[in-house]
A and B are shown apart, each in its own frame.
Chain A
Amino acid sequence: MDAVLIQSLFIAALKTGTPLLIIALGELICEKTGVLNLGQEGMMLMGAMAGFAGAMVSGSLFIGVLVAMFAGMMMAWLFGILTLTLSANQVATGLALTIFGTGLSAFLGGSLVGSTIEGFKPIAIPLLSDIPFIGPLLFNHDILVYTSFALVGIAWWALHKTRAGLVIRAVGENPHSANALGIKVIKVRYMVTLLGGAMAGLAGAYMSLSYTPMWMENMTAGRGWIALALVVFASWKVGYLVLGAYLFGFTSIMHLMMQGAGIDISPNLLAMTPYVATIVVMVLLSSNEIRQKLATPMSLGKPFDPKRQ
């Protein structure tokens, strides 16, 4: 393969990995506080639908993005009421959120199917984008991809270098101790849940306003679920998450490479690759049980009620 083809494959992998990175980053922060929100797919779909509708109505892509983030937050708020206020089972509530979000986005977005808009345009950063290979790969993208780069930095800094990060980790490792120290566990969990919702909405907006500027039922095709696997893959570490997201970007575009190499396989079988890859990666990483147990936030998925010990 020549250099141009390799470069375009890298760019495609990066673009495919971006929504995974954004949504998984939000979920990683949530899981750090012990909140396991399996409703990612539902929140992302709502974000994609709301973002597209917002951009269509207002004529502004940025308003679309804001609407998408708000929609994701509203979904996350629903999750918060059930699991944080009413102490409902997080696994079942997350599933409900996905079923509800899939239904609601299909219902509300019915009239949007078939419409097209002009999505985000790439902005070449002067000088930097002229660097051979690296330039077009990293510095010739739309604003949402740059945002995802920034979010990675902010998330790493916030989790490891700030008091807020310490509070988040304390709540996830031992909510009872955190509570005894005067940290409002439920409040912290609400805040990160809403943040996660906004990130899921943003990832949805990337899908419907940049990656493929249109709306279609179920257009996220399981990315919310893959993101959940990614967080486990990354052992709840931001650095590994970046690596994982782009690696998955690569597996998802593998069919392009195979077609390029002239291999003739049914497109339906090739479409399985990201899902098969997710399972394979989970097997490779989960087999070390002790390492996995140490990395998992202690209170993950467990409800907390200060009145009950």
Chain B
Amino acid sequence: MLRAQPRLESSKLMSWLSPFIAVALTMIVSSLMFLWLDVDPLKAFQVFVIMPFSDSYNLGELIIKSTPLMLCAIGLALCYRANMWNIGAEGQLLIGAVASSAIAVSATDDAGFGTYLLTIGAGVIAGAFWAAIPTWLNRRFHTNIILTTIMLNYIGLYILLWAVHGPLRDPSGFGFPESAMFADAVMMMPLLESGRATISIVIAIVIAIAAGLMLFKTLPGFKLRVMGAERSAAKYAGFSENKIVWLVMLFAGAMAGFAGASEVMGPIGQLVPSVSPGYGYAAIIVAYLGRLNPVGVIIAALFMGALYMGSDLAQIELGLPTAVTGLFQGTLLFFLLACDFLIYYRFVPKRPLRKPSSRSLINEEGAA
């Protein structure tokens, strides 16, 4: 038998390996679930893993799903590194989408580049503002950031619903809770000739790499990592906690706001109640899957995007409900957290302690 023994030093190898072990375990558990649902696991594997990468159309759709996840998760990774439990990416994304739409609905086809930037800027600023509220409350009144950001997610959702039912509803839309389609002048530039993917993915990847460099190669990044690892050490070294906290929170909010803007200005093209199928929550898992490393987040977001797409495809191909996405996400995060155990512990053979065997007793007698 094996028993767990604390490691003296955390394992570098395992911290690289554990996300992959977690993904493998999730796949095994999902296969069992597919068997139970009378779905051929090989077919399911094809739908969830192969199809999203199979042709240029699917690849474009994969990029669309991955972009908001990546944008949100980069910011969250930095927040979690600083021990700021910002769960509010969902609300920040929704508010960003609403703000961008408020500008975009009144833009006409001959609007200039200024209007285009203003539309993006509105989303970015609104997202940052939505993150500033819990940050200010936390700094000023010491409120719990987890709970305030969650509450702001719900409030954000109702603001979105209010906007699509009220001020931003398309007057000629037969009463549907949707805004009018945006003019081409305020739409994101497409990435390729065909397909709906936009340049947002390029922006996301550039920001991810920049954030990674900032985190590991610059003094502010070092301060952030010290503060996250040991708050008292950072305080002793004279690092301003307030400054770091405000910086990561506003950055995360701006990123989530940009994600919201790029959704309505990109693949959706209008404001609808279902702007986000839980991207802000899934981004929490992406941040963890990427080991809270902005560069790791790029790969993790593509993986999670494939999962989202897979469940869309599974609905068509296998007749599975879209709720399986949440199921997989939860399972994956469980395994990720469980696998972190391997970083701090190792398994060694179980040896009975202090149980003298009869043989050794005889030997001792013989020696005597």
Binding site for B on A (CB under 8 A): 38, 42, 78, 81-82, 86-89, 91-93, 95-97, 99-104, 106-107, 110, 217, 221-222, 225, 228-229, 232, 266, 268-269, 271-272, 275-276, 278-279, 282-283, 286-287, 289, 292, 305, 307-308
The answer to whether B162 and A268 have CB atoms under 8 Å apart is yes
A/B interface sample: 23 pairs, CB < 8 A:
A87-B344, A95-B87, A96-B333, A96-B337, A100-B331, A100-B334, A102-B326, A102-B330, A104-B327, A106-B321, A110-B323, A217-B323, A225-B150, A268-B161, A268-B166, A272-B155, A279-B151, A279-B152, A282-B148, A283-B137, A286-B144, A287-B141, A307-B6
By beta carbon, the residue of chain B nearest A308 is: B6
Q: Can you list, as one digit per residue, whether each of B116-153 has a CB less than 8 Å from chain A (1) or not (0)?
A: 00000000000000000000010011111011101110
The answer to whether A305 and B6 have CB atoms under 8 Å apart is yes
The answer to whether A107 and B151 have CB atoms under 8 Å apart is no
A42 to B327, CA, bound (A): 11
Q: Can you list, as one digit per residue, whether each of B22-55 has a CB less than 8 Å from chain A (1) or not (0)?
A: 0000000000000000000000000000000000
The answer to whether A287 and B337 have CB atoms under 8 Å apart is no
Q: Which residues of B contact A38 (CB under 8 A)?
A: 146
User: How near does chain B come to A36, taking the closest CB pair, in angstroms?
Assistant: 9
- Indicate whether A268 sits within 8 Å of B158 (C-beta atoms), given known contacts A87-B344, A88-B337, A229-B147: yes
B338 interfacial contact with A, CB 8 Å: yes
The answer to whether B334 and A107 have CB atoms under 8 Å apart is no
Q: Which of B191-199, B212-220, B281-289 participates in binding chain A?
A: B281-289
Other-chain contact of B334, A96, A229, A268, A276 (Cβ < 8 Å)? A96
User: How near does chain A come to B368, taking the closest CB pair, in angstroms?
Assistant: 37
Other-chain contact of B326, A89, A99, A279 (Cβ < 8 Å)? A99
- Indicate whether A103 sits within 8 Å of B334 (C-beta atoms), given known contacts A87-B344, A268-B161, A283-B141: no
A229 to B145, CA, bound (A): 11
The answer to whether A272 and B158 have CB atoms under 8 Å apart is yes
A276 to B158, CA, bound (A): 11
- Indicate whether A103 sits within 8 Å of B330 (C-beta atoms), given known contacts A222-B154, A305-B6: yes
User: How near does chain B come to A199, taking the closest CB pair, in angstroms?
Assistant: 19
The answer to whether A89 and B337 have CB atoms under 8 Å apart is yes
B85 interfacial contact with A, CB 8 Å: yes
The answer to whether A99 and B330 have CB atoms under 8 Å apart is yes
A28 to B227, CA, bound (A): 30
The answer to whether A103 and B324 have CB atoms under 8 Å apart is yes
A276 to B147, CA, bound (A): 11
Other-chain contact of A106, B85, B166, B326 (Cβ < 8 Å)? B326
B239 interfacial contact with A, CB 8 Å: no
A268 to B157, CA, bound (A): 9
Closest 10 CB pairs of A and B: A103-B326, A100-B330, A106-B323, A96-B333, A103-B327, A107-B323, A268-B162, A88-B337, A86-B341, A275-B151
Q: Which residues of A contact B159 (CB under 8 A)?
A: 268, 272
B11 interfacial contact with A, CB 8 Å: no
The answer to whether A107 and B146 have CB atoms under 8 Å apart is no
The answer to whether A287 and B142 have CB atoms under 8 Å apart is yes
Q: Which residues of A contact B87 (CB under 8 A)?
A: 95
B325 interfacial contact with A, CB 8 Å: yes
User: How near does chain B come to A273, taking the closest CB pair, in angstroms?
Assistant: 10
Q: Which residues of A contact B325 (CB under 8 A)?
A: 103
A22 to B278, CA, bound (A): 28
Q: Which residues of A contact B158 (CB under 8 A)?
A: 268-269, 271-272, 275
The answer to whether A99 and B329 have CB atoms under 8 Å apart is yes
Q: Which residues of B contact A97 (CB under 8 A)?
A: 330
B184 interfacial contact with A, CB 8 Å: no
Q: Which residues of A contact B152 (CB under 8 A)?
A: 275, 279
- Indicate whether A286 sits within 8 Å of B142 (C-beta atoms), given known contacts A82-B334, A96-B330, A107-B323: yes
Q: Which residues of A contact B61 (CB under 8 A)?
A: none
The answer to whether B323 and A103 have CB atoms under 8 Å apart is yes
Q: Which residues of B contact A307 (CB under 8 A)?
A: 6
A289 to B143, CA, bound (A): 9
- Indicate whether A92 sits within 8 Å of B337 (C-beta atoms), given known contacts A266-B162, A282-B147: yes
The answer to whether B147 and A232 have CB atoms under 8 Å apart is yes
The answer to whether B284 and A110 have CB atoms under 8 Å apart is no
The answer to whether B326 and A269 have CB atoms under 8 Å apart is no
Q: Which residues of B contact A232 (CB under 8 A)?
A: 144, 147
- Indicate whether A279 sits within 8 Å of B330 (C-beta atoms), given known contacts A92-B337, A266-B165, A271-B158: no
By beta carbon, the residue of chain B nearest A104 is: B327
User: How near does chain A come to B272, taking the closest CB pair, in angstroms?
Assistant: 15
B241 interfacial contact with A, CB 8 Å: no
Other-chain contact of A266, B141, B166, B323, B326 (Cβ < 8 Å)? B166
The answer to whether B141 and A101 have CB atoms under 8 Å apart is no
A286 to B147, CA, bound (A): 12
By beta carbon, the residue of chain B nearest A228 is: B147
The answer to whether B330 and A107 have CB atoms under 8 Å apart is no
User: How near does chain B come to A279, taking the closest CB pair, in angstroms?
Assistant: 5
Q: Which residues of A contact B288 (CB under 8 A)?
A: 92
User: How near does chain A come to B293, taking the closest CB pair, in angstroms?
Assistant: 16
Q: Can you list, as one digit per residue, whether each of B261-285 has a CB less than 8 Å from chain A (1) or not (0)?
A: 0000000000000000000010011
By beta carbon, the residue of chain B nearest A89 is: B337
Q: Which residues of B contact A81 (CB under 8 A)?
A: 338
A282 to B146, CA, bound (A): 12
Other-chain contact of B147, A99, A103, A225 (Cβ < 8 Å)? A225
Other-chain contact of A95, B137, B166, B284, B344 (Cβ < 8 Å)? B284
Q: Which residues of A contact B327 (CB under 8 A)?
A: 100, 103-104, 107
Q: Can you list, as one digit per residue, whether each of B338-352 has a CB less than 8 Å from chain A (1) or not (0)?
A: 101100100000000
- Indicate whether A82 sits within 8 Å of B330 (C-beta atoms), given known contacts A103-B324, A282-B144, A286-B142: no
Known: A92-B284, A106-B321, A268-B162. 11 other contacts (CB 8 A): A88-B340, A95-B333, A97-B330, A100-B329, A107-B323, A107-B327, A222-B150, A275-B151, A275-B158, A282-B147, A283-B137
